[in-house]
Amino acid sequence: MDPRGIGNYGDYYTPERFVPASKEATKMPWFVIYPLGSSFSYESDASKYKGTKWIIQNLVDIVAKGGNFMVGVGPSGTGSFSPTAITQLKEAGQWLQINGEGIYGTRPRPGTEWAEGNDVRFTCSKDGRALYCFVTEWPGKTLRITSVDPRPIQSVEMLGFPGTLKFSREATDNFSVSIPDELQDPSHRRSEFAWGFKLSYAT
């Protein structure tokens, strides 16, 4: 699928088979189109599907940059889809059931604040009252963030985990969240591949 329209006359931009390294320098809406298998056509070799981790981590990265993500899956000649593709898409859907609050309807942070390093990505709620932090590597007992807004934080939650988490703030560039001991066991986490934290600003 190509951008609809030509140059400045188009109304959306569609990077195909690559994820932009940073925010796109465009005022148009944009979304990445990428096949889950080796091509957009039907893929019979199950080993060539990229996996649930690939879907989720790319989704988080792209949304943090202000884009959307369309995963391409082609049907066979009889109209059926690979069981492997179906499984991976369903697993991504299960992840979204838990973490979708930080994906759907969110906005990118300004400037370069969409990321910290390779493993941390951010999104914001539309009303600006919540900052969502996604980590693609488990942070251990403490999640540290160096780019939290100076506004007072009212609470911190981990999406899919009941209650609130303890946090401390020594400075704008030194914000830390304590991760409960029970979550150090992967079997106690409701998500895999990326974990979402919600920082709610005091109103």
User: What pLDDT digit, counting tens, does each position of 170-200 carry?
Assistant: 866 789 999 999 999 999 999 999 999 999 9
Q: Where are the beta strands (DSSP E) in the chain?
A: 31-35, 68-72, 115-116, 120-124, 130-135, 142-145, 153-158, 167-171, 174-178, 195-201
Instruction: Encode pLDDT of 113-136 as tens digits.
Output: 999 999 999 999 999 999 999 999
d(CA 71, CA 116): 25
Domains and CATH numbers, the chain: 7-102 (no CATH), 115-201 (2.60.40.1180)
Residue 92 dihedral angles phi and psi, to the nearest 5°: -65, -40
Instruction: Encode pLDDT of 133-174 as tens digits.
Output: 999 999 999 999 999 888 999 999 999 999 999 999 886 678
pLDDT at position 93 is 96
pTM score > 0.85 for this model?
yes
